[in-house]
Amino acid sequence: MECSVCRKEFPDKDCIECKNLISGAYLARKPAREFLVELKPVENRNIKYYGTIKLLSPIGIALESSVPQGVYMIKLHEKLEIKVSLIKSKGKTPYQGFDIISVIRDDGEHTRLSNEEFNILCKSAEEVIEQLTEDLPETTKNLVREKLKEDVEKSQILDLFKVGTVLKYQSGRFRTLSLEDRQITLSEDYLRNFVEKALKDSVYVRDKVIDAEGEKVYDLHALPMSYNSGGLISIDVTDIIMAERKQKEKELEIYRDVIKAVTGGKLILMDEEESKKVAEEGEAIVEQEIADSTDLQKLRVSLKDFLGQFNLSPRELLHLLLCITEAATNALKHAGGGKVTVKYDADILKVIVEDEGEGIDFKKLPKATLMKSYSDSSTFSLGNGFTLMFRFTDRLYLKTSPTGTILILSKNLGLTKGEEALA
């Protein structure tokens, strides 16, 4: 139906549903997401109009806009610009149809959008993933697709193009396919080597990498297509990681206040900076790597010799040694080992137990530290040992993260030091 007839007989009919608004209507599609573009008249680039892309074909485009008759330049992304001409006879408010006169990209000027450009503009993140993985072997195609889609969903990135860049790699050169060409602060050599590895081994490769300035974090996905071409998805996850970090800090503050209140200030949760400050204070008396049970015995012997100068009863000495041994045993059991450093300064004994395990899940932190019989093989737990530590030391400091745990036991030995040692 002609637009002039439709305007009179069906004033409420939606132009976008009709698709006759633009040339190439039989191929026309709605974009994966509507986005705002600038229109600059060819005769005067200083003037700007704005419109929202509603419909697209390889040779036509429909905008929700209101611009005068003329020829305009529209930049779809950094390396893709189109010249369009308003079709005055088509459409009704608020829609306008344009013919694509030419497409300007790195390799020159063309008369239409390429299939890749058209598909990238119109397809959702899930469809792009399917397109990029189409040439993978059947044995791995579905696995790679599901993994990519799962990662997108898990990261709460509902649209790759909001935070990421999709590149096609062929014969040593990259070409941007995604709508928004965000600058990637990783070197082209690094990206080339990353994709080349996927091509060489014919496997999907993923990595999370920080740029040279330490300011941006990228989640990279390389997808082999043929022996010399592949796809690269680069997702800037800096903001997501920062948000997760802030959330963790918030959780730490909540747990810190709760546990401090419940324990009367005896158990203190620390962050990275606080743990370094507490651990650095005092002179190291004993240092012992804990790799197996024999190291625990060596630690007990060394500590027993040192603690002999203090007026500790046999029961007090036993309890203190048990506390330290329990802390070291936890590092061995849940992290495969660790290091124990004993420091003494101004009558204060500090036992620092460090490991590189997976740490304590914040959701399980209250149980792991406060429940007497709590035990979970998948996480660090102070369990029954905490009862001893809580009762026979003055204060406990705890710093935990997915990269490891630091537990510091503090005990004032000033009141138990013998007169001979004081002399």
Residues 414 and 296 in one domain: yes
Q: What is the DSSP letter of 48?
A: -
Structure tokens at 318: 């036993």
105-123 burial string, b = 16+ CB within 10 Å, else e?
Answer: beeeeeebbeeebbbbbbb
Residues 209 and 253 in one domain: no
Q: Read off the pTM.
A: 0.47
Please report which confidence band the pLDDT of residue 369 belongs to, taking 50, 70 and 90 as the band edges. low
For residue 324, give every residue at least 6 positions away whose Cβ sits within 8 Å of its Cβ, in sequence order, or none: 299, 300, 303, 340, 342, 351, 409
Q: How many domains does the chain have?
A: 3
Q: 73 or 160: which carries more pLDDT confidence? A: 73
Q: 388 or 378: which carries more pLDDT confidence? A: 388
- Which residues are bridge partners to 340 per DSSP? 288, 353
Domain final residue, candidates 94, 114, 134: 114
Q: Is the pLDDT of residue 125 over 80?
A: no
Long-range contacts of the stretch 239-246 (C-beta < 8 A, 24+): 239/163, 240/155, 240/156, 240/157, 241/217
pLDDT for 292 equals: 92
Task: Give the C-alpha separation, 333 to 336, whole Å.
Answer: 6
Q: Which is it for the CA torsion 379, 385, 390, 392, positive or negative? A: negative
Q: Is the pLDDT of residue 161 over 50?
A: no
Residues 398 and 294 in one domain: yes
Any idea which of 177-186, 261-270, 363-372 has the lowest mean pLDDT? 363-372
Q: Which domain, by its residues, includes 255?
A: 242-422
Task: Give the C-alpha separation, 161 to 14, whole Å.
Answer: 27
- In a domain? residue 119: no
How far, CA to CA in Å, does 199 sit from each of 134, 167, 192, 224? 15, 15, 10, 5
The burial class, CB within 10 Å (0-12 / 13-18 / 19+), for 14 is exposed
- Longest CA–CA separation in the chain, Å: 110
State pLDDT tens for residues 295-352. Answer: 999 999 999 988 988 888 889 999 999 999 988 988 888 888 999 999 998 888 999 9
Residues 27 and 99 in one domain: yes
CATH of the domain at 28: 2.40.10
Give strand ranges (E) for 44-124: 49-57, 60-64, 71-77, 80-87, 95-105, 108-110
